[in-house]
Amino acid sequence: MDKKHLIITSITLGVIAASSALLIGVTNLITKDKISQNEKEKIVSGIKAIFGNESKIKEESPINESIFAGEYKYINYVYTISDNSDVLIGYAFKTSGSNNFGKITMLVGYTSTKIYKSVYMISDEQTFASTLEDEYVTKITDNPDYQDVDVHCGATYGATLVKEMIDEVKGAVNK
Amino acid sequence: MNIFISFILAILSSMLIDNVVLSRFYGICPFLGVSKKVNSSFGMGLAVTFVIILATLICWPLYNYVLLPAGIQYLDTVAYILVIASLVQLVGLFIKKFSPSLYKSLGIYLPLITTNCAVLGVAQSNTDQGLTFLNSIANAVGTSLGFLLIIVVFSTIRVRLESANTPKAFKGLPIALITAAIMAIALMGLQGLFQGLI
Amino acid sequence: MKRNKGYTKANFLKGILIENPLFVSILGTCPALATTKSIEAAIGMGLLFTFVLICSNILVSLLRKLIPEEVRTPAYIVIIATFVTIVKMLTQAFLPELYSTLGVFISLIVVNCIVLGRAEAYASKNNVFDSLIDALGMGLGYMVALFTMAFFRELLGTGGFTFGKIFTFIPTYKLQIIPKGYEIKLFQNPAGAFIVFGLILATIACIKNRKEAYKAYLDKQEKIRKAQEAKNVGGNK
Amino acid sequence: MTQTGYIILAISILVGLLIIFIVSFVLYRKTPLPKGCEDMKMSEEKCTSCPNNSCAFHKKEEDKE
């Protein structure tokens, strides 16, 4: 391959790569804050699903800066929830964990009187996500005695992971 | 011990229950165009298995140790397609240079693998699902074995389909699709088998 | 096709009817079987696919004289991958519901046989306007094909059509045609996708056979009539 | 390593990947076929349906026409 031809090819490919990088960068600038805003909205709608429509986030902090600080495997964020007249009604813990079928991120809601309120699934990319959703998660939402819901439900590994997360949150709340 | 069991279960589940062709629909293009000869489809299956496992070995660390700390996860698809395409070319180069016999059996399929949806599908879903390294290897091994199994079984059935007297309109692809549907129903039954475990 | 007046119209209609990418040249079957669980997902997938196809066809035909012959495919793969990443980011931001429903299949457009095929077969040989029309035709044809698949799968699978679940700006509305307990759940499963796709291909093949048989019948009639006339002319002389 | 350091590292790795891909693509096209495989034929119908025009067997199709 003669020299000149090689240079032309590498220049054109370089221009294509640079222009595509530029295009991606520009779209990223446009969509970056919108995506994080979407995530925020998802959490707010989750909290509304757990604590009712008039609940709102009073303050939020990573777990280790909040009053529940400690050594946790799943919990990474905690939200204190209050209703419209700023009365504390409970806490929502954002937990995320994964097993060999995928990652689960969810919100676990506890009332201020340390009773398990409900669970909201933010993102469930497990392979058997739909079976987990129908067979287990719907059974433990708004069901105080989630302990005796059977874990063998066609998505056993996913269900045990969800249960471990709730138990860890229970430990944190009762601290 | 528990790790080993869950590793085997992950391979079994992505091989049989959540089969890549019949329930997740990655890799239908080669599945429909599979040729009648069993050894050629076996050759294609082996080539795809080799590329899937190699691709996962490279794509997973690339995502978690290069893209994630840099915060540019949205470039994952570009990175994966580059890795897979260059893998196919390098493997082809290697086979062409060093083993003509292997090239004779596998060489035909190498250009097809870049447009094979299963390879990129597995690499992309491994990181989208946030699997750990061990689990994504298990998923890759299970998926490629499942792909190999289904391709070989389907090519044997397709040989029988030629001699069956199907109605004129169903000749060729439509009857192959109906048999694939019956195979998918059979695999759906397997999900009950692992009800307690998976 | 030489550049006569109806070229652009034929070029556009080719994608939808004569060379429909899914039902005639059987390309891009992976997303077609997977994302046609509901009409909205199918239309969403069709829109994203058409957007990527149009952008990549335009850019490919713009650069067709610049890119040297032997590095054509890598350059096309890079261009298509860029547009797919852009589409993925846009859907994640503006249509999050569609993004979570389609999941991996948005990034699978990169390996979609149609996009690379059209880029190499058509866009690299024709000017920008023709490639744009070709991309529009192909994209619309693919969306129509996805829509028909999704129409049958959702009607039979869930007994009706739900709107507003994925495109959240439409008011949610559920049209129930088949009464609640009588729908066939199989069509929502993967096996149903194979059945619907197989049956549609069979009907197309049947129509084609029927047409050919009819034409053959007409030719036979024609031949018999000509033979008749030849005999009469021979007789009167 | 700061955030921008990671970004530069990631982008350089991606550019490296792109270069490896292009170089291997060109080399794959250049290396001659091994001795015994010149006349390898793909089954006819499969070759036409696959759109990968740059694949070696398509070249043979076009030369024939």
Q: Is C176 helix (H, G, I), strand (E, B) or coil?
A: strand
Taking an 8 Å cut-off on Cβ atoms, the answer to whether B77 and C85 are in contact is yes
Q: Which residues of C touch A13 (CB under 8 A)?
A: 71, 74-75
Burial of C32 (0-12, 13-18, 19+ CB in 10 A): buried
> Radius of gyration over alpha carbons of chain C, in Å?
23
Task: Measure in Å the smallest separation between the Cα of A18 and chain B Cα atoms.
Answer: 14
Please tell me which residue of chain C has the smallest CA distance to A26.
C86
Residue A50 tokens, joined: 């757990």
State the pLDDT confidence band at B12, using cuts at 50, 70 and 90.
confident
Please name the chains neighbouring A, where neighbouring means 3+ C-beta pairs under 8 angstroms: B, C, D
Quick check: B68 pLDDT over 60? yes
Name the token pair of C109: 């457009």
3-state SS class at C225:
helix
Nearest-CA distance D53 → chain B (Å): 10
CA A39, CA D1: separation in Å to the nearest integer? 28
Residue labelled with tokens 């079976």: A131
Q: Are A22 and A89 in contact (CB under 8 A)?
A: no
State whether residue B114 sits within 8 Å of chain D by CB: yes
Residues contacting C11, CB < 8 A, separation 6+: C1, C130, C133, C134, C137
- pLDDT recorded at residue B54: 93
- Contact (CB<8Å) A27/C68: no
Look at residue C237 in the predicted model and tell me its pLDDT: 59
**Neighbour-count burial of A84, counting CB atoms closer than 10 A to its CB (0-12 exposed, 13-18 middle, 19+ buried):** exposed
pLDDT value at position B58?
Answer: 93
β-bridge partners, A118 = A109
The answer to whether the Cβ–Cβ distance between B129 and A101 falls below 8 Å is yes
A99 touching chain C per CB within 8 A: no
D33/A contact by beta carbon, under 8 A: no
On the CB side of C104, CA atoms within 13 Å amount to: 23
Is the model's pLDDT at D51 over the cut of 80? no
The contact set of C with B (CB < 8 A) is 26-27, 29-31, 33-34, 74, 77-78, 81-82, 84-85, 88-89, 103-104, 107-108, 110-113, 116, 186, 189-195, 197-199, 201-203, 205-206, 209
* pLDDT number for residue B86: 92
List C-alpha distances in Å: D38 to B43, B96, B103, C110, C170: 19, 12, 11, 31, 59
Who's near A111: CB < 8 A, 6+ residues apart?
A89, A90, A117
pLDDT of residue C2: 57
Lowest-pLDDT range of A128-132, B158-162, C102-106:
A128-132
* Residue A92 DSSP code: E
Q: Would the CB atoms of A24 and B128 count as touching at under 8 Å?
A: no
Cα separations in angstroms, D8 against B66, B69, B70, C16, C41: 10, 11, 8, 45, 37
Which residues of chain B neighbour D17 with C-beta distances below 8 Å? 79, 82-83, 86
Q: Verify whether the Cβ–Cβ distance C74 to D25 is below 8 Å.
A: yes
- Greater model confidence, C143 or A4: C143
| Distance in angstroms (rounded) separating the CA atoms of residues B185 and C187 | 11
Asked if pLDDT for residue B159 goes beyond 80, the answer is: yes
Lookup result for tokens 């990169």: C110
Output the DSSP codes for C122-142: IITTS-HHHHHHHHHHHHHHH
Note the pLDDT of residue B103.
Answer: 78
User: Chain B residues with CB inside 8 Å of A125's CB?
Assistant: 128-130
Tell if the CB–CB gap between B78 and D55 is shorter than 8 Å.
no
CB contact under 8 A, B78 and C81: yes
Find, in chain A, the residue whose alpha carbon is nearest to that of B193. Answer: A154
Contacts of B67 in chain D (CB under 8 A): 10
Interface of D with B in 8-37 (CB under 8 A): 9-11, 13-14, 17-18, 20-21, 24-25, 27-28, 31, 33-37
Residues of B in contact with D42 (CB under 8 A): 108
For residue B57, pLDDT over 90 is answered with yes
pLDDT of D50 reads 53
Residues 6 or more apart whose CB falls under 8 angstroms from that of C41 comprise C35, C98, C101, C102, C150, C166
- Please give the Cα distance from C65 to A168 (Å, whole number): 62
In 3-state terms, chain C is what percent helix, strand and coil (to 5)?
75, 5, 20
- Say whether residue A28 is in contact with chain B using an 8 A CB cutoff: yes
**B78 and C203 in contact by Cβ < 8 A?**
no
Average pLDDT over residues D22-36: 78
Q: Please, which residues bridge with residue A80 across strands?
A: A59, A91
Closest-CA residue of B relative to C112 is B115
Closest CA to C100 of A25, B123, A129: A129
Task: Tell me the CA end-to-end span of chain A in Å, nearest whole number.
Answer: 73
Residues of D in contact with A22 (CB under 8 A): none
Run of H or E residues at B145: helix B133-163
pLDDT of residue D63: 44
**What single-letter amino acid sits at C129?**
F
Are β-strands A116-124 and C173-176 bridged in parallel, bridged antiparallel, or unpaired? unpaired
Q: Indicate if the pLDDT at residue B151 is higher than 50.
A: yes
pTM of the predicted model, to two decimals? Answer: 0.86
Give the per-residue pLDDT at C140. Answer: 92
Residues of A in Cβ contact (< 8 Å) with C89: 24, 27-28, 31, 35
Judged by CB atoms closer than 8 Å, whether chains meet at B35 and D21 is answered as no
Query: What average pLDDT does chain A have?
Result: 83
Res A1 pLDDT > 70: no
Which chain B residues touch A99 with a CB distance below 8 Å? 6, 135
What are the pLDDT tens digits along chain C (237 aa)?
Answer: 456 777 888 888 887 888 888 888 888 888 888 899 899 999 999 999 999 999 999 999 988 888 888 788 888 999 999 999 999 999 999 988 899 888 889 999 998 888 888 888 888 888 888 889 989 999 999 999 999 999 999 999 888 888 888 888 888 888 888 888 888 888 888 899 999 999 999 999 999 999 999 999 999 999 999 999 998 887 775
What is the pLDDT confidence band of residue D54, given thresholds at 50, 70 and 90?
very low
Confirm or reject contact between A17 and chain D (CB < 8 A).
yes
Dihedral angle at the C-alpha atoms of B63, A30, A94, B129, nearest 10 degrees? -30
Residues 6+ apart with CB under 8 A from B193: none
3-state DSSP helix/strand/coil % of chain D, to nearest 5: 70, 0, 30
Q: Report the distance separating Cα C88 and Cα C105, nearest Å.
A: 10
Our CA-based measurement puts residue B122 at a distance from the nearest CA of chain A, in whole angstroms, of 12
Nearest to D51 among C70, C71, C121 (CB): C121
Mean pLDDT across the stretch A52-73? Answer: 82
How many residues does the structure list for chain D? 65
| Confidence band, pLDDT 50/70/90 cuts, at residue D43 | low
Quote the CA–CA distance of C146 and C200 in Å, as a whole number.
Answer: 12
Looking at residue C116, its pLDDT comes to: 86
In this structure, of A22-31, A71-80, D37-46, the range with the lowest mean pLDDT score is: D37-46
Question: Most D CBs within 10 Å: which of C110, C120, C142, as the mutation test of the D interface?
Answer: C120
Range A72-101 average pLDDT: 84
* Mean pLDDT, chain B, whole residue set: 85
Kindly indicate the confidence band of residue D65, based on its pLDDT and cuts at 50, 70 and 90. Answer: very low
Q: What is the pLDDT of residue D47?
A: 53
Contact C51, C175 (CB under 8 A): no
Do D14 and B70 make contact, defined as CB atoms within 8 angstroms? no
Starting from the edge strand earliest in sequence, which strands make up the sheet with A116-124, in order?
Answer: A56-62, A75-82, A88-99, A102-111, A116-124
Chain B neighbors of A155, CB-CB under 8 A: 198
Strand partners, A111: A90
Mean pLDDT is highest, among B65-74, C4-13, D12-21, for: D12-21
Q: Which residue has the tokens 């070229």?
A: C7
Selected for mutation to probe chain B from A20, A98, A127 (highest B CB count within 10 Å) is A127
Tell me the pLDDT band of A170, cut-offs 50, 70 and 90. confident
Is B65:C57 a contact under the CB 8 Å cutoff?
A: no
More confident residue, A17 or A149: A17
Question: Which chains are adjacent to chain C, needing at least 3 Cβ pairs under 8 Å?
Answer: A, B, D
Most D-contacting residue of B66, B95, B155 (CB-CB within 10 A), to test interface: B66
Amino acid B181 reads A
Please give the residue that has the higher pLDDT: either B150 or B98.
B150
Closest CB to C82: pick one of A23, A35, A38: A23
